[in-house]
Amino acid sequence: MLIIDCPYCGPRDEAEFHYGGEAHIVRPENPAELSDEEWAEYLFMRTNTKGRFLERWVHSEGCRRWFNMARNTANNEIEAVYRMGEQAPKANVSGDTNK
Amino acid sequence: MKRYSIFSLLRNAVSHHKDWPRAWRSPDPKTEYDVVIVGGGGHGLATAYYLASQHGISNVAVIEKGWLGGGNTGRNTTIIRSNYLWDESAHLYEHSLKLYEGLSQELNYNIMLSQRGVLNLAHNQHDLRELSRRISANRLNGIDSEFLTPAEVKSMVPLIDVSPGARYPVMGASVQRRGGVARHDAVAWGYARAADARGVDIIQQCEVTGILRDGGAVTGVETTRGTIKAKKVALAVAGHTSMLAQMADVRLPITSHPLQAMVSEPVKPALDCVVMSNAVHGYISQSDRGEMVMGAGIDTLTGYSQRGALPVVEELQRAIVCLFPSFSRLRLMRQWGGIVDTCPDASPIVSKTPVEGLYVNGGWGTGGFKATPGSGWVYAHTIARDEPHALNAPFALDRFTSGALIDEHGAAAVAH
């Protein structure tokens, strides 16, 4: 069970949140010019990191706002929570990152 | 391989069962193989067996970082069925079910297949329509599938609550009578023993740490027990498919999630079929030992922790207790998690990759166990011929580029 520190509401039980998958996937600027391979990459391909992972969450049963989290997917340790639009915190170890 | 039979049982009874031979060898890795299969679960071992028995390729190693069947093969709820919606999936899973039906004989190993029937419940009008559609699609594909009214469900499963006031009213169900359960460990062990007898090396406690390539083609694997050269490398590493593919710079549309299962304390026989409900995210059957075996939906977050969070356990138990009020007095005995890798269309990937000589078999999501023999069959064909079998051609990696997805969320999303 995770205790998630919502950047707007403070620490709450995991059950109040919904998961939004990998963070920082940039919407294509010119969708009409994308090849099939580029569409597949944007829509389907995921990093699926084992280790430090940047991901999106929404506090759906609280403030209903989206935010990002850096979490270790191997042991569920939450390293940082940061707001949408903010830079991801730098990894303290030379571990895996999404990008 | 010493055949198991009533006579071998009697012979060994005389010597107090102290002289049974080991079921498979434990060899040191050779320096080179024709095919290295990464992952000693059911799918990897079945692939090795069919490579040897169907394609005459026995210079094969199965490399396992832990022990045989210690991943999802030993963690699932052992349900077998083939009532999938789309033709592609129905053909693949039905082939698998047919192989299961003859597997104990073929492997000379009792996999304890029990075709006790699998029910899928409908709790609302949408479920009813979806079930009717799936039953019709199954029958067109020659797969046994029948509709049951609530009264028929009650007569088949006396402990279920079908009253109109139930929290999850049962408005009908589909039943596949050829579906059921099998002993999951036995499937892995049976394939291991039969593959070993045909010359396959099964190497446990050996983790692959890198995939060696030369100019876009595979040349072998780096492992914790040294370098092993191979002309072909085949991944069968449910849960960690992305991690292994990354070693060869192959991107996959897979995300990994914990999937939880649990058993109650053992009780006398009370449930003689498998009951599944997608709407309430639960499925239940009773093991030969008497435990109620229950499985949940996936934990939604990406994770590799092989355990899940409590809310999923609570949600599952709420559903089970609403469906079977008398089970509220059962105590849970054990709970565990496995890591399943899921695809966007809830269908697997059994495919060649952009790297020559590297093959991928993964993304089975929550339903890989039932596919074990079929998966091994088509994967062996893909590896041996370097082209897919007709049954797994639709499950190639390029479907995510072409758009020809096989959306099985209705038949596969929860259950297994």
Per residue in B18-53, pLDDT tens? 999 999 999 999 999 999 999 999 999 999 999 999
Chain A neighbors of B311, CB-CB under 8 A: 1, 14-15
Segment A15-44, tens digit of pLDDT: 999 999 999 999 999 999 999 999 999 999
**Which of B:128-157 have CB within 8 Å of A?**
none
Whole-number pLDDT of residue A17:
97
User: Each residue of A72-90: pLDDT tens digit?
Assistant: 999 999 999 999 999 999 8
Q: Which of A14, A15, A75 sits opposite B305 (nearest CB)?
A: A75
Give the Cα separation of A59 and A18 in Å (integer): 7
Tell if the CB–CB gap between B252 and A45 is shorter than 8 Å.
Answer: yes
pLDDT exceeds 80 at position B416? no
Amino acid at A5: D
Q: What's the mean per-residue pLDDT of chain B?
A: 95
| Interface contact A73-B254, CB threshold 8 A | no
pLDDT beyond 50 at A99: no
Q: What is the pLDDT of residues B316-367, one digit of tens each?
A: 999 999 999 999 999 999 999 999 999 999 999 999 999 999 999 999 999 8
pLDDT given at position B84: 94
DSSP B323-361: H-GGGGGPPEEEEEEEEEEE-TTS--EEEE-SSBTEEEE
What would the pLDDT profile of B375-387 be if each residue is shown by its tens digit? Answer: 999 999 999 999 9
User: What's the confidence (pLDDT) of residue A12?
Assistant: 97
Report the Cα B4 to chain-centroid distance in Å.
Answer: 25
For the residues B201-230, what does the mean pLDDT come to?
97
**Contacting residues of A for B242, CB less than 8 Å apart:** 46-48
Nearest Cα neighbor of B139 from B174, B170, B171, B172 is B174
Q: Which of A2, A21, A48 sits opposite B254 (nearest CB)?
A: A48
- pLDDT tens readout for residues B268-277: 999 999 999 9
pLDDT at position B415 is 46
Q: Mutate one of B237, B246, B247, B301 to test the A interface: name it (highest A CB count within 10 A).
A: B301
Set of chain A residues whose Cβ sits within 8 Å of the Cβ of B305: 73-76
Given an 8 Å threshold on Cβ–Cβ distance, is A46 in contact with B243? no
- Closest Cα in chain A, distance from residue B349 (Å): 13
Tokens, residue B30: 């050779």
Per 3-state DSSP, what percentage of chain A is helix, strand, and coil (rounded to 5)?
15, 35, 50
Which residues share a beta bridge with B336? B261
Span A63-78, mean pLDDT? 96
- A64 and B CB contact within 8 Å: no
pLDDT digits (tens, 9 = 90+) for B231-243: 999 999 999 999 9
What does the block give as tokens for B83?
């009532």
DSSP characters for B33-71?
EEEEEE--SHHHHHHHHHHHHHH----EEEE-SS-TT-S
pLDDT, tens only, B288-309? 999 999 999 899 999 999 888 9
Share of chain B above pLDDT 90, in %: 94
End-to-end Cα distance, chain A: 27
Q: Amino acid letter at A45?
A: M
Q: Is A22 on the interface with B (CB under 8 A)?
A: yes
Q: Establish, for the pair of chains A and B, how many residue pairs have beta carbons separated by less than 8 Å.
A: 66
pLDDT digits (tens, 9 = 90+) for B146-200: 999 999 999 999 999 999 899 999 999 999 999 999 999 999 999 999 999 999 9
In angstroms, what separates the C-alpha of B413 from chain A's closest C-alpha?
Answer: 17
